[in-house]
Chain A
């Protein structure tokens, strides 16, 4: 069975696929590799700080005590504009309270136990999200590469006229160029639904500065918050007059009473200790792709309504589904394991794509040993650099210079690959030179 593209279209499709792949391969490989690792974001956080207090649930009164304890710790500075209480979940059974400047783990009574220390997980997330660059540039770049995965998928389908017929043809044991091509094509074909899902959602998230920015610029006078308000709701008006801290207890009690099937996993206090403060609870809906629904409450716990992420417009539901669909956190550990397997497959597709091009050059009699060495060094360097930073986290601690370590190690592995090539060349030419002397 073939898709029936004309021979010329197939040739052009392959040319486009090759050109796109070569332009994008390095950063695409890095994004895919880190994306695979970040599927376990919550698990990495637990691994980083194994002695943090854990619990399966926390009482509303303890949540309120935790909020007040953290705010009192910050009496020496300007009151935080937002305070987030992460409620215990299956993936991350911890209660963590985050302000504008710091974060603490609290125990089941709401007592502060220790500061949150998850710098490696945050580094990994930042590397995947924005390549450690400032958000506007990094996210846009990553989003653009997400879009290019879509283009690579389309061109790959066009370039492969026997896509279905060969769908299970994997000559993995050949240990030659044919095996590399088979690995690339078979993994790419079967991970296609996954690749399209994560690349489109990733590009939606990453290109927000472009697409959301242009909507804001053309329709809302440059106000990004106003552009997002129809989707995620708008911020309530501020009133800076001082007031006692809002009470989360009646809000949580209302959630348990009115929405027993919904699992609250974030309590957000907006403008705490001001007259304009209000509470938002983010609730997870079982068997839904949406990250949750926003439940709005006043400072005394009076219910104001929902935003509509769960049952509003299709656009709202779609926008709220991108994050979970991208990161694979919508079905517990089994879905995460599937995402890791498919993520590894996609990473291998990117790596083998460039090797196929290098093999073709070699078979044509125009080998590119330096490029091959750089690519080999890069492909092995990314996981080596990630493991190096993780070891640094374990040996040095939360303050280890992860960004410098990662990029330094990566540069080193590429340099080592080039040095090995040079050594091999010298070894190969050595006897001939000796004879000549």
Chain B
């Protein structure tokens, strides 16, 4: 049994990790040693947090880390800039990142593919994962929760990949591939 008080050690390590990373990244050159120390302190903190109180311990340790980083950033609010260069003027091509010039029809088609279509494919993927989990003996509860958890995870990842995929053909190919793979898995585990 790990002592509950060790959560404070986990928090202290998280704070130290962020402070070390601040020192490391604030140097003009690469500081591999400090970098490694910072990441190691964070990792050990998270491991101790997890050992003390599982997911709760990891969540609380993460709050220590994020809180420290925000506090360090808050300090920067009161610092005057050393010198101020005007913001770089933008070239036509980079200003709108391709959004402004997109025709409405194309934009709507992209929205339909990355939005509702990707959602449908994600649901198919999650349902296939459910069938696979249940077939593997994971049980109904795990299978059903997998659907609840996978849809909001797979959909945004797929939407992002679709948005950075250049041609409409490749977008449709990708969605079809994921959908077919999901259906194939479902058939394979005897879902249909």
Point out the residue from B26, B30, B119, B141 that lies within 8 Å of A313, measured CB to CB: B141
> Are the C-beta atoms of B164 and A18 separated by less than 8 Å?
no
CB distance from A418 to the nearest CB of B (A): 21
Which candidate, A61-69, A187-195, A380-388, is the interface stretch facing chain B?
A187-195
> Are the C-beta atoms of B87 and A312 separated by less than 8 Å?
no
> Are the C-beta atoms of B73 and A168 separated by less than 8 Å?
yes
Interface centre among A12, A315, A345, A364 (most CB of B within 10 A): A315
Interface residue A171 (Cβ < 8 Å from any Cβ of B)? yes
CB distance from B70 to the nearest CB of A (A): 6
> Are the C-beta atoms of A214 and B127 separated by less than 8 Å?
yes
Interface residue A321 (Cβ < 8 Å from any Cβ of B)? yes
Which candidate, A201-209, A394-402, A408-416, is the interface stretch facing chain B?
A201-209
> Are the C-beta atoms of A171 and B81 separated by less than 8 Å?
yes
CB distance from B8 to the nearest CB of A (A): 12
Q: What CA separation (Å) do A155 and B164 show in the bound complex?
A: 9
Q: What CA separation (Å) do A110 and B88 show in the bound complex?
A: 68
A35-73 near B? 1/0 per residue, CB < 8 Å: 000000000000000000000000000000000000000
> Are the C-beta atoms of B86 and A190 separated by less than 8 Å?
no
> Are the C-beta atoms of A1 and B70 separated by less than 8 Å?
no
> Are the C-beta atoms of B80 and A18 separated by less than 8 Å?
no
CB distance from B6 to the nearest CB of A (A): 12
Chain B contacts of A360 at CB under 8 A? 90, 95-96
> Are the C-beta atoms of B160 and A154 separated by less than 8 Å?
yes
Query: B-side binding surface: helix, strand, loop or mixed?
Result: helix
CB distance from B138 to the nearest CB of A (A): 8
> Are the C-beta atoms of A287 and B139 separated by less than 8 Å?
no
CB distance from A356 to the nearest CB of B (A): 11
> Are the C-beta atoms of A315 and B81 separated by less than 8 Å?
no
Point out the residue from A148, A168, A331 that lies within 8 Å of B60, measured CB to CB: A331
> Are the C-beta atoms of A315 and B97 separated by less than 8 Å?
no
Query: A-side binding surface: helix, strand, loop or mixed?
Result: helix
A23 in contact with B111 given A15-B97, A315-B139, A315-B141 (CB within 8 Å): yes
Within 8 A of A (CB), among B87-138: 87-92, 95-100, 110-111, 119, 123, 126-127, 130, 138
> Are the C-beta atoms of A312 and B30 separated by less than 8 Å?
no
Chain A contacts of B56 at CB under 8 A? 287-289, 330-331
CB distance from A39 to the nearest CB of B (A): 13
How many contacts A-B (CB < 8 Å)?
A: 227
Q: What CA separation (Å) do A151 and B66 show in the bound complex?
A: 21
Chain B interface residue number, banded: 35 or more
The chain B residue sitting closest to A208, CB to CB, is B148
Interface residue A350 (Cβ < 8 Å from any Cβ of B)? no
The chain B residue sitting closest to A187, CB to CB, is B73
Chain B contacts of A143 at CB under 8 A? 152
Chain A contacts of B152 at CB under 8 A? 143, 146-147, 150, 199-200, 203-204, 207, 211
> Are the C-beta atoms of A215 and B66 separated by less than 8 Å?
no
Chain A contacts of B100 at CB under 8 A? 361, 366
Q: What CA separation (Å) do A315 and B59 show in the bound complex?
A: 18
CB distance from A214 to the nearest CB of B (A): 5
Chain A contacts of B26 at CB under 8 A? 168
> Are the C-beta atoms of A215 and B4 separated by less than 8 Å?
no
A172 in contact with B76 given A167-B25, A315-B143, A363-B90 (CB within 8 Å): yes
> Are the C-beta atoms of B148 and A230 separated by less than 8 Å?
no
> Are the C-beta atoms of B73 and A154 separated by less than 8 Å?
no
Q: What CA separation (Å) do A13 and B164 show in the bound complex?
A: 6
CB distance from A256 to the nearest CB of B (A): 22
> Are the C-beta atoms of B159 and A230 separated by less than 8 Å?
no
The chain B residue sitting closest to A191, CB to CB, is B66
> Are the C-beta atoms of A364 and B151 separated by less than 8 Å?
no
Point out the residue from A149, A154, A210 that lies within 8 Å of B157, measured CB to CB: A154
Q: What CA separation (Å) do A335 and B142 show in the bound complex?
A: 29
> Are the C-beta atoms of A207 and B157 separated by less than 8 Å?
no
Beyond A168-B26, A230-B141: 13 further Cβ-contacts under 8 Å?
A: A15-B97, A168-B25, A208-B148, A288-B55, A313-B138, A315-B142, A315-B143, A335-B60, A342-B66, A342-B70, A359-B87, A364-B95, A366-B95
Q: Closest 5 CB pairs between A and B? A: A203-B152, A315-B145, A364-B95, A151-B156, A16-B163
Give me the interface of A with B, judged by CB distance under 8 Å.
1, 9, 11-16, 18-20, 22-23, 143-144, 146-151, 154-155, 158, 164-165, 167-168, 170-174, 176-178, 186-187, 190-191, 193-194, 197, 199-200, 203-204, 207-208, 210-212, 214-215, 218-219, 227-228, 230-231, 287-289, 308, 312-316, 318-319, 321, 325, 330-331, 335, 338, 341-342, 345, 357, 359-361, 363-364, 366
Contacts A/B (CB < 8 Å), 17 sampled: A16-B163, A19-B99, A144-B119, A150-B156, A155-B164, A168-B26, A173-B78, A174-B81, A187-B70, A190-B70, A191-B66, A211-B148, A288-B56, A330-B56, A357-B96, A364-B90, A364-B95
